[in-house]
């Protein structure tokens, strides 16, 4: 019997998404799964048959018990942790007043977190007859697994994800030591592709027996949920999306964008711009926008060409390069629209950049590129914008670019949705002709790339790390010149121009390869296929 240790939620992306979809797929495959996590709304997930909360005094509260539509079943166990949750990057969590980067927490707080989890997991192992543990992340649930293994003898596997390695293990020797010890005692290290394999090798070069422990597991995608629709059916899919949005709590309101635009001027000083951005940021990020349905209704779903971005709105993910490419895209494809899905501190910066382009305000646009880190509120890579603008200037093309921007860019051609879950995204992805993921930082497993493929939305991504592996895995299904359209250069001086050029090329394909690409993804990356591989690997440990 499998017990999966995941320190966070089921809602969201990254390892949260991986856990959610993996457990669902295991239940479809008839497996019995115990899941330890902090999901505040387990009742929202139809594969969870029972959920229990474990109080600090040893008491257990039954949250619910029910039948599910799956052959297998998942039982969720939720340790009560108090008001502090150690995370990799600071964020807001519904049940925690202090969701703080673990590198900022004292040893006592880390030990308290580990201790509370160990007590619960050890109890679950003994009472449920768990035969094998699977821990997400190099820290901290790997350490919980290590300690429970020492107490019970139950073997365990660890799946490192990029965030723990980049934001905790590499930044703080405490967490490197904890991770190295936990990985050394683990029976298996499961990695998603060569990029994570490389990171593990480089981060833990002295780990004994590392190569014998490593096992590869593909990324997964729900090919039943993410499926293509014909252009003529996009309007109906929009109505389905509207039903999915109905009743959801909302975040940013339309008047915030109006207030921001009214406060902008071409000659703003940096402090004035920072104040203008900050004045409209007081809303709940992790919610869809109020008025989103009205924004989407302005799209001509049969005739417009839709480009989609999904991801955190931070400069490291590269959405600023997409906005900068809009004048070039619209000059060739005047019916193009950009749909931006996500939340983060860059949203208002993107809106200010969009206004500057619409107004042809070259000075403000270039100032945004220069002041980017201050505007976002954290160190952030904006050299793609700076190099793009300086390159235009060196070639004598800067004035022409901003004139094209003033002529073609309109705020209504960019739709910001706010935060959407996969319950909504599965309806939006198939309605978009292309999707672009121009990340500046290496990513081990870009799940959104696979979701685009499964949905028939032609994806473009920065050609390095896990994105390169995903592109290479499907490139054989296309003519080489079409496969090349997926590849965005890592050269910051070329990024904006390549987004424009290759987006136009993707639009010109007209969905020609959507079935071939979907077939490749369905054969290799469907969650049930991936779940069977993981179950077999873990079963081998539990024998």
Give 331-377 pLDDT, tens digit per residue.
Answer: 999 999 999 999 999 999 999 999 999 999 999 999 999 999 999 98
Say which residue, 97 or 60, is predicted with more confidence: 60
Are 107 and 173 within 8 A, CB to CB?
no
In this structure, are 87 and 210 located in the same domain? yes
In this structure, are 187 and 261 located in the same domain? no
Q: What is the DSSP letter of 445?
A: -
Number of domains in the chain: 2
pLDDT, position 162: 85
Q: What is the pTM of this model?
A: 0.85
Please tell me the total number of residues recorded for the chain in this structure: 543
What average pLDDT does the segment 227-233 reach?
92
Asked if the model's pLDDT at residue 445 lies above 70, the reply is no
Rounded alpha-carbon distances, angstroms, from residue 501 to 266, 315, 328, 369, 460: 28, 21, 8, 21, 11
Rounded alpha-carbon distances, angstroms, from residue 67 to 25, 49, 50: 17, 6, 9
- pLDDT band, residue 446 (cuts 50/70/90): confident
Q: What is the full DSSP assignment across 261-326?
A: HHH--TT--HHHHHHHHHTT--S-SSSBPTTHHHHHHTS-TTTSEEEEEES-SSGGG-HHHHHHHH
Residues 62-95 have pLDDT tens digits of: 999 999 999 999 999 999 999 999 999 877 788 8
CATH of the domain at 507: 3.40.50.2000
Are 25 and 527 within 8 A, CB to CB?
yes
In this structure, are 148 and 247 located in the same domain? no
In this structure, are 339 and 389 located in the same domain? yes
- How large is the C-alpha radius of gyration of the chain? 24
Q: Is residue 466 in a domain?
A: yes
Asked if the model's pLDDT at residue 466 lies above 90, the reply is no
Contacts 24+ apart (CB under 8 A), 8-11: 8/37, 8/38, 8/85, 8/87, 9/37, 9/38, 9/39, 9/40, 9/93, 10/37, 10/39, 10/42, 10/45, 11/39, 11/41, 11/44, 11/421
In this structure, are 157 and 214 located in the same domain? yes
In this structure, are 239 and 374 located in the same domain? yes
Characterize the bridge pairing of strands 84-87 and 48-54: unpaired
In this structure, are 168 and 264 located in the same domain? no
Q: Is residue 190 in a domain?
A: yes
Domain interval for residue 31: 2-220+526-542
Q: Is residue 226 in a domain?
A: no
d(CA 65, CA 82): 24
Residues 153-187 have pLDDT tens digits of: 999 999 999 889 989 999 999 999 999 999 999 99
In this structure, are 308 and 181 located in the same domain? no
Tokens found for residue 310:
């999904």
Residues 23-41 have pLDDT tens digits of: 999 999 999 999 999 999 9
User: Of all residues in the chain, what percent carry a pLDDT higher than 70?
Assistant: 99
In this structure, are 48 and 143 located in the same domain? yes
Q: Is residue 225 in a domain?
A: no
Average pLDDT, the chain: 94
Q: What is the DSSP letter of 221?
A: B
In this structure, are 216 and 246 located in the same domain? no
In this structure, are 161 and 297 located in the same domain? no
Q: Is residue 165 in a domain?
A: yes
Tokens found for residue 36:
């330890």
């Amino acid at each position: 019997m499998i017990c999966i240790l995941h320190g966070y939620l089921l809602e969201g992306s990254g390892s949260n998404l991986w856990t959610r979809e993996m457990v669902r797929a295991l239940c479809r495959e008839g497996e019995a799964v115990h899941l330890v996590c902090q999901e505040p709304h387990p009742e929202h997930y139809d594969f969870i048959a029972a959920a229990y909360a474990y109080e600090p005094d040893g008491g257990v509260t039954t949250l619910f018990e029910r039948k599910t539509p799956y052959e297998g079943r998942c039982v969720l166990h939720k340790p009560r942790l108090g008001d502090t949750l150690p995370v990799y990057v600071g964020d807001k969590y519904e049940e925690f007043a202090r969701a703080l980067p673990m590198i900022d927490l004292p040893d006592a707080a880390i030990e308290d977190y580990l201790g509370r989890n160990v007590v619960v997991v050890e109890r679950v192992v003994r009472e449920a007859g768990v035969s094998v543990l699977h821990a997400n992340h190099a820290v901290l649930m790997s350490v919980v697994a290590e300690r429970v293994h020492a107490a019970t003898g139950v073997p365990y596997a660890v799946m490192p994800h990029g965030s723990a390695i980049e934001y905790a293990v590499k930044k703080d020797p405490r967490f490197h030591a904890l991770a190295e010890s936990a990985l050394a005692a683990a029976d298996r290290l499961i990695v998603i592709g060569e990029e994570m394999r490389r990171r593990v090798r480089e981060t833990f070069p002295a780990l004994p027996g590392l190569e014998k422990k490593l096992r590869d597991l593909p990324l997964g995608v729900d090919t039943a949920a993410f499926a293509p629709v014909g252009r003529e059916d996009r309007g109906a899919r929009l109505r389905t999306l509207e039903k999915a949005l109905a009743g959801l709590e909302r975040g940013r309101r339309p008047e915030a964008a109006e207030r921001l635009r009214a406060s902008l001027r071409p000659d703003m000083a940096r402090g004035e711009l920072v104040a203008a951005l900050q004045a409209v940021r007081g809303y709940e990020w992790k919610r869809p926008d109020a008025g989103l349905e009205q924004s989407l209704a302005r799209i001509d779903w049969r005739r417009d060409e839709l480009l989609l971005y999904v991801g955190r709105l931070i400069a490291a993910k590269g959405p600023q390069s997409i906005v900068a490419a809009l004048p070039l895209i619209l000059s060739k494809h005047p019916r193009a629209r950009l749909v931006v899905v996500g939340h983060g501190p860059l949203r208002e910066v993107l809106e200010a950049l969009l206004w500057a382009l619409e107004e042809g305000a070259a000075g403000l646009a270039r100032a945004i590129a220069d002041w980017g880190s201050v505007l976002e509120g954290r160190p952030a890579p904006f050299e793609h914008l700076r190099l793009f603008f300086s390159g235009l200037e060196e070639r004598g093309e800067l004035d022409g670019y901003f004139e094209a921007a003033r002529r073609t860019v309109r705020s209504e051609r960019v739709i910001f949705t706010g935060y959407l879950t996969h319950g909504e995204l599965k309806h939006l992805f198939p309605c978009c002709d292309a999707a672009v993921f121009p990340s500046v930082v290496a990513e081990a497993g870009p799940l959104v790339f696979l979701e685009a493929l499964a949905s028939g939305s032609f994806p473009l991504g920065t050609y390095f790390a896990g994105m390169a592996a995903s592109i290479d895995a499907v490139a054989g299904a296309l003519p080489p010149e079409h496969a090349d359209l997926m590849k965005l250069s890592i050269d910051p001086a070329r990024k904006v121009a390549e987004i424009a050029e290759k987006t136009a090329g993707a639009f010109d394909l007209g969905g020609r390869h959507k079935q071939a690409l979907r077939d490749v993804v369905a054969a290799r990356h469907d969650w049930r296929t991936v779940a069977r591989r993981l179950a077999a690997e873990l079963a081998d440990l539990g024998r």
